[in-house]
Amino acid sequence: MHNRYSWPTAFALAVILAGCSQAPQPAADTREADAKAIRDVETAWNQAYASKNVDQIAAFYTGDASVFVPESPQINGTEAIKANFVPMVKDKNFTLTFAADKVEVAKSGDIGYSQGAYTATMTDRKTKKVLTEKGKYVTVYKKQADGKWKAVSDIWNEDATPRAKASPKAKASPKSVQKVSHHKRAKR
């Protein structure tokens, strides 16, 4: 009676062990398709900036996104992003275009980034003159539950303008250095 159950039990145990020892199949590598999806997002985002619709622009950010604007505190969340972008899009001279020269996506397929260059035109608040700014940016994207990519972190800064070299005659004299040093001490 003991042998009658041992063969079926041994066979069932072998099947179970064989099933447990199989390595899980690796997930399909979707990085190329995800990178294209991020490029498509940026194309649509450029169109939203062209429309100057702050709701459409902010829709490309996650609800908890952070934006790092030069010379400003960090902006967190889409409502704060919208509030900060309203004056920018209301400027009649405002335009913004940007294009990635690099898009990378993690092998996990849930996070990626783009980096590239932008050109913005706006009215200078102080001088009221129209100015054009060129710079670079990095945007970190996170894939959402619905498969769409949204920006979770966005930072940009203007390219440095070339500075004129000081002529040899323009060197500071010891007297001017003393005046500056004395002036700084007097303010303390």
Tell me which residue range forms the domain holding 138: 31-158
Kindly state whether residue 144 falls inside one of the protein's structural domains: yes
Structure pTM? 0.72
Kindly state whether residue 39 falls inside one of the protein's structural domains: yes
Q: What is the CATH number of the domain that holds 115?
A: 3.10.450.50
pLDDT average, residue stretch 131-138: 96
For residue 175, pLDDT over 50 is answered with no
Question: How many structural domains does the chain have?
Answer: 1
Kindly state whether residue 176 falls inside one of the protein's structural domains: no
Of 92 and 24, more confident: 92
For residue 2, pLDDT over 80 is answered with no
Kindly state whether residue 166 falls inside one of the protein's structural domains: no
- How would residue 5 be classed by pLDDT, with cut points 50, 70 and 90? low
What is the four-CA torsion angle of 99, 102, 108, 111, rounded to 10 degrees? -40
Kindly state whether residue 146 falls inside one of the protein's structural domains: yes
For residue 170, pLDDT over 80 is answered with no
pLDDT in tens, 43-77: 999 999 999 999 999 999 999 999 999 889 999 99
Of 8 and 98, more confident: 98
Kindly state whether residue 61 falls inside one of the protein's structural domains: yes
Q: What are phi and psi of 160, to 5 degrees?
A: -70, 140
Kindly state whether residue 53 falls inside one of the protein's structural domains: yes
Kindly state whether residue 5 falls inside one of the protein's structural domains: no
Mean pLDDT of all residues belonging to the chain: 83
**Cα distances (Å, whole numbers) of residue 60 to 69, 109, 154, 169:** 16, 18, 11, 53
